[in-house]
Amino acid sequence: MDQLLDEQLLLELKEEKEYAFSVIYTRHRMKAFRVAYFMLQNQQEAEDVVQDVFSSLWKNRCKLNVSTSLKSYISAAARNKCLDMIRTKGLHHKYAVEFNHNHTEAAPANTQQEHKEFLNNIQAALKSVKSDIYKEAFTMVYLQGLDYKETAQQLGISVPVSRTYVNRAMKVIRDLMKNSLFSLL
């Protein structure tokens, strides 16, 4: 029933009805926050991601094409914003350390379980990347915490090529995880 309501809300959002946006925001804000907080482990950054996701939703409302559930769409948008933030702000190392270790900070048990599932899904999706060098570049940047320059030096390639390899691996992983991971969340 929520799915049907979300579809109706999306239609009304495209018609620029602000109440539809308000209902969508109220209904899905916490889900976007949980995804962002899980990835960034920083409340302020997670709140910023939520604002970015919903502001982008409003700006692009007329050309929005949601092929999955709205919940999955917003979760994926939050995840992608987090990955962009990690990439652009140089938080690779922080992400890698938290990603690879089970932390026992004030995270609820279900967050730790989601963390393990997320890691398992990333690793499973990484197996589907056909090029070994793409896998290696992605692993170095996102799982080991190296920057693009260090990755390029270790692989014997240029920095722009290392970025390209990571981005290509990321595209495959995003495509594979788009439906499977966020339908679980």
Are both 169 and 130 inside the same structural domain?
A: yes
Are both 150 and 181 inside the same structural domain?
A: yes
C-alpha Rg value of the chain to the nearest Å:
17
Are both 55 and 102 inside the same structural domain?
A: no
Q: Please give the residue range of the domain that contains residue 159.
A: 91-185
> What is the Cα–Cα distance from 148 to 18, expressed in whole angstroms?
42
- 156 sits in the region (left: phi over 0; alpha: psi -120 to 50; else beta) called left
Q: What is the pLDDT along the chain (185 residues), one digit of tens a residue?
A: 455 588 888 888 888 788 888 888 999 999 999 998 888 888 888 898 999 999 888 888 888 888 778 888 898 899 988 888 877 665 455 445 555 544 434 445 556 676 677 777 777 777 888 888 888 888 888 777 788 888 889 989 988 888 888 888 888 877 776 655 444 44
Q: What is the pLDDT of residue 185?
A: 42
Question: What's the structural domain count of the chain?
Answer: 2
> What is the Cα–Cα distance from 24 to 50, expressed in whole angstroms?
12
Are both 102 and 178 inside the same structural domain?
A: yes
CATH, residue 17? 1.10.1740.10
Torsion of CA 157, 158, 159, 163, to 10 degrees: -60
Are both 95 and 185 inside the same structural domain?
A: yes
Task: Please indicate, yes or no, whether the overall pTM of this predicted structure exceeds 0.85.
Answer: no
